[in-house]
Amino acid sequence: MALKILVAGGFGAGKTTMVGAVSEIRPLRTEEALTDVGSKVDDLHGVEGKTTTTVAMDFGRLAFNDGITLYLFGTPGQERFWFMWEEMAYGAIGAVVLADTRRLTASFDSIDFFEQRDTPFVVAVNCFDGTRTHTLKQIRTALDVDPQIPIVLCDARQRDSVKSVLITLVEHALELS
């Protein structure tokens, strides 16, 4: 069984890192260097050290022993690339909204996108080194997501952490079907 999953979130939340951490194949990445022109439209607050950006999508694959294969599509985070999201979302069983507590408001548009389309999603809070710690209740309140939407902590760099997020999403999508 093949399942399509989107990995969405704000600019610099760690979507490319997440797809790469769990993919069993060499992930497709469409990262390009940030330019002076882009820095005038991209909000680098909180991610000042970021040097590249996804300009189309990331793609990875993860197969489980029980015959389930997940195809992961990482969306670009900047508003100027949102026109691609509708096509990317077609056929997806759900999405991971990757949130960065340094820039939590950057998650709002992703959450709105999936809520408006009744697409199952989970919020995965990427726990970067040195970021402020918030409780899941505080994050739920700040994001204003319904109580039935799972919110989990993760480290987008760690394979097992990302696998756990993906399992939570698939279970959540199955509950809603």
Q: Per DSSP, what are the bridge partners of residue 69? A: 2, 63
List, for residues 63-90, the tens digit of each pLDDT value: 988 888 999 999 886 666 677 788 888 9
Domain segments of the chain: what residues?
A: 2-176
List, for residues 90-110, the tens digit of each pLDDT value: 999 999 999 988 888 889 999
Global pTM value: 0.84
Task: Look at the block and give the residue holding tokens 């260097």.
Answer: 33
Report domain 2-176's class: alpha beta
Collect all residues with Cβ–Cβ distance below 8 Å to 159 and sequence separation of at least 6: 21, 22
Looking at 5-19, 35-49, 77-91, 135-149, which range is the least confident one?
Answer: 35-49
